[in-house]
Amino acid sequence: MRMSDQQGEDMQDQALVPTTHFGYQEVPETEKEHLVKGVFSNVAGKYDLMNDLMSLGVHRLWKRFTVDLARPRPGQRVLDLAGGTGDLAAAIYPRIKPNGSIVVSDINPEMLAVGENRLADKGIIAGVEFVEANAEELPFPDREFDLVTLAFGIRNMTHPERALKEIHRVLKTGGRALILEFSHPRWPGLQSIYDMYSFKLLPRIGELVAKDRDSYQYLVESIRRFPDQETFKMMMEEAGLERVEVFNLSGGIVALHRGFRMD
């Protein structure tokens, strides 16, 4: 049977469509943002509870280390990207008072709403702004911020390299970026234990607690697809950040990358 000209053209068009990964699936680049939004819309209400359950509460220590290393100071202007439910913003806020300010930015309105309510409940209102935005195309002027933080969000972006360039663009000279993300275990024997925990237990917890196994299956897969520590360090350097350092936490299950804008 001969393939029709139309079928051939359709197959050729499909081959030309850029794709990216969504967990272990390959999807058109244009669809990933929508799919990721769907995941976090589904889990927004239980996101903090699930983080506590999945990390046994250790995520709070990882974030505390991030804030300590960031060294926010009074009067500084801070951008917390993929700020979600406001954990980092709440920890940074007391250190930038009385005249500092922080922008919490996220692509997902449901996550932003949870974060805004949480911070308001803590009395954190003045000097805080919530902005729905794509980190790959930030709506902020050049050299606007002293500090940019990003925790557990960059692996979900369609083009992480674009987000890194945007982070560099909005930083002031001497400003610093701190990016906390799941990474690749370094301790001998830890990878097999981590794999068993991730693929067997975490989706099951998602199913029981958040009533959403698929979203947590995706989150596990997205972690495995993320570059290792050295590769991501090079990505930050290629985006223009300098003096990039890597801090492995919990045996490399999580890594904190810190870089500076020097120009």
106 assigned ligand-binding residue: yes
* CA 152 – CA 80 distance, rounded (Å): 11
Q: Quick one: how far is CA 77 from the chain centroid?
A: 20
Helices 87-96 and 58-70: crossing angle in degrees, nearest 10, is 30
> Binding site annotation covers 85?
yes
- Can you name the residues that pair with 81 across neighbouring β-strands? 105, 150
By CB atoms closer than 10 A (0-12, 13-18, 19+), residue 198 is buried
158 known member of a binding site: no
134 is in an annotated binding site: yes
The residue written with tokens 């369609």 in the block is 158
Query: What is the secondary structure of 57-122 as a DSSP string?
Result: THHHHHHHHHHHHH---TT-EEEEET-TTSHHHHHHHHHHTTT-EEEEEES-HHHHHHHHHHHHHT
Cα Rg, the chain, nearest whole Å: 19
Selection from 211, 262, 216 nearest residue 240 by Cα: 262
* Structure tokens that stand for 199 in this block: 């693929």
Q: Which helix (H) or strand (E) holds 257?
A: strand 254-260
Phi, psi of 122, rounded to the nearest 5 degrees: -90, 0
User: Which residue ranges make up the annotated binding site?
Assistant: 85, 106, 134-135
Residues in binding site for S-adenosyl-L-methionine:
85, 106, 134-135
